[in-house]
Structures are given as structure tokens and as C-alpha cells.
Amino acid sequence: MSIAKPLKKLVSAVILDLDGTLLHTDGIVSDVLKAFVVKYGKQWDGRETQKILGRTPLEAAAAVVEDYELPCSTDDFLTQFTPLLYDQWCKIKVLPGANRLIKHLSGHNVPMALASNSPRENIESKISYQQGWMGSFSVIIGGDEVRTGKPSPEIFLEAAKRLNVKPSSCLVIEDSLPGVTAGKAAGMEVVAVPSIPKSHLYTEADEVINSLLDLQPELWGLPPFEDWMEGALPIEPWHIGGPVVKGFGRGSKVLGIPTANLSTKGYSALLSEHPSGVYFGWAGLSSQGLYKMVMSIGWNPYFNNTEKTIEPWLLHEFDGDFYGEELRLVIVGYIRPEANFSSLESLIAKIHEDRRIAERVLDIPMYSQYRDDPYLKGSSL
């Protein structure tokens, strides 16, 4: 029997950040910056990512110009860089759980505001590519509509004023440290969805979650999601594949769970779009057939990985190894966020619980239909 979690606080409105919270803007920005700094003989290595997250365009530009010692002013940088970014907005992908959350809150008539340090015109341009978003927000407010952007609380206080609700009745959902600081300074409740894998930095937030897939609105007095079934959440299917590679040697030896690891080479952009956690779906091995599969994506904090990995467990007893064989996966559901464990035994127990959930729910038609996905049998996407 599940035990209901206690209510954190009753709220009546939700204020959402945009970049890094709803949209995977960071990947596009990094790609454009890589190409931009090359013409100055520099190489973008991402070291400024944390400095520019959640900042106003002017602040972010100043940080890049200073740290990379670019021979241009901040204004010149923005004049050259901004049009390049505009051209890429149509390619920005929605972060997992964003469409689900917006539809859910809108469907239950929960007042929503969008509050971003980006200029208002830029915000509206970005969300124009997302069906239904423009009409879902009662209020949209940009950094150019307030005197001071985040981490100042001004933008959130103005959003609450336009929503006609008290600041203390608002829940802010943010990915950046400046946004979290701004929300708390405004006297609001804040849920942090860190866009960098350093959740220990978000101590000001009232709750820190791994992704929007893990948000529990009922903890804030809002209507609960009703799409979880038997410990699993359906997601928009996605695909990944490649030859099976040798992993860390811990799957069979340490855990007693033989994983069929995939190389992350060439998949950094795809992995950045999907939060770490435990997923399930179907696996196709080029010479052996189709199998149920449960997999982890992430840093595996118990083993303190230094890179994000993909570790599928094909739910079948195989006679031997199949290193080098082509493995194709269709991922159709989500079980839980990545977690650390106090002991190896508790980690193993949780992995087997994940397996039981995956084995059971993959027989449900909404998941079993993907056994016939052509990608599993070698078709290109």
C-alpha cells in the first residue's frame, strides 16, 4: 500500500522559467558558441556554462567575452551572436515532461506564468514553435520588462501581480541558481530542476527534482498527474543503438546483472536531452531477436561515474557475451530518477524491483505495441 506524502504547502498558481526548464536551449547555445568563438581562434569548452545559466543576455555575453578574452565589446558580441541564435530557435527541443506539465496545469485551469530573463520578443518567438504553449500562459514576462533580472525577485513579483495572486501562493519551477534565488527572494515556493548535475548547490530550493517527469503537483495542493500506471510512466518513444561495448566490469561481477553497454560516443546531444534515471522498452539484437529491456542512464552515483552512461539490461538469459553485436533500443517508459544507495545490497534490490516493473508493464498494449517498431529490426529512423 502506498503512503501519501505530506502536503508541502498549498499554492494556487505556477510560474515557470523557460530556457533549461521547459526548453533544451543550452544545447543550441553551446553549439552556436562553439562555431562563434572559432573565428577568434578560441575553442568553446563549456567552462562558462554555469556562469551563463539563468543570466540575462547581457550578463551572459559579458562572461563569455571576458573569460575567452574575445577582441570585441559585449555589445558587439550580442550584435553578431544574437542573429545566429535566432536562426536555431526552430530546432530547440522540448525537455521531457514539459508538454505533459503544461497540458496538465492548463487542463485543470491552474493559472500559469512564464517568466524568463530573455527579452519578451525572444520568449514569444521560441514558444511559437510549440503547439498550444502561447495560449496556455495567462502571463508572459521577459527580462526587458523589469528593471533587474534574476536573481532579483522583481520578475517573479511582477508575474504574481499580473496573475493577481499573492507571491506566497505561487510555485516557481526553475533550473538555474539565479532563478532559485529570485523565487525565494520573492517569498515563493521553489522547485529546482537542475540543468547541471550538481543538485547539492540548490540548497535554497524547497524541493530539488531530477526532471519534470518527477514533479508531484499534489505535494503543493495542485491536481495530481493520473498517467502513472503500476510504477511506470509512458513517455514519447525515442531510439538509440550501436555495437555492444565492454563496460566497467561491474554488471556481472559486482551486481550479478549482465548489462549490454552502449558507447556514448556520438550521443552526447541525445543524452543531454534526457534526464538521468531508469527507463524501459524493447531491445533488438541483430542476430538474436527482440527482448524486454530495462536501462539506466546517468552517472550511477554509487559507483561515482565521471561520465553519463547508457547501461541496458536485456531481460533474458543468454548463453554467452555478444560484444560488438548491433543493439537497437526503443525507450517507451520511465520508472524513477537516478539515486544513490547506502549499500550495494540496497542498490541490487532496487535494480531487481525495476526489472519486475519493466517485465510486467511491457505486456500492457500501450507498451507492447513497440515490439513492432521497425528500428528494432534494422530500419533507419
Residues taking part in catalysis: 17, 19, 311
Determine contact, residues 120/89, Cβ cutoff 8 Å: no
Which residues have C-beta within 8 Å of that of residue 87, sequence separation ≥ 6?
Answer: none
Quickly list H helices, the chain: 25-38, 49-52, 57-67, 74-86, 98-107, 120-127, 154-163, 177-185, 268-273, 344-361, 365-368
User: Could you give the 3-state DSSP secondary structure of residue 33?
Assistant: helix
Q: How far apart are CA 82 and CA 67, in angstroms?
A: 19
Q: How far apart are CA 189 and CA 205, in angstroms?
A: 8
**Tell me, what amino acid is at 72?**
C
Q: In what order do the strands lie in the sheet with 13-16?
A: 139-142, 112-116, 13-16, 170-174, 189-192, 207-208
**Tell me, what amino acid is at 105?**
L
Q: How far apart are CA 260 and CA 83, in angstroms?
A: 43
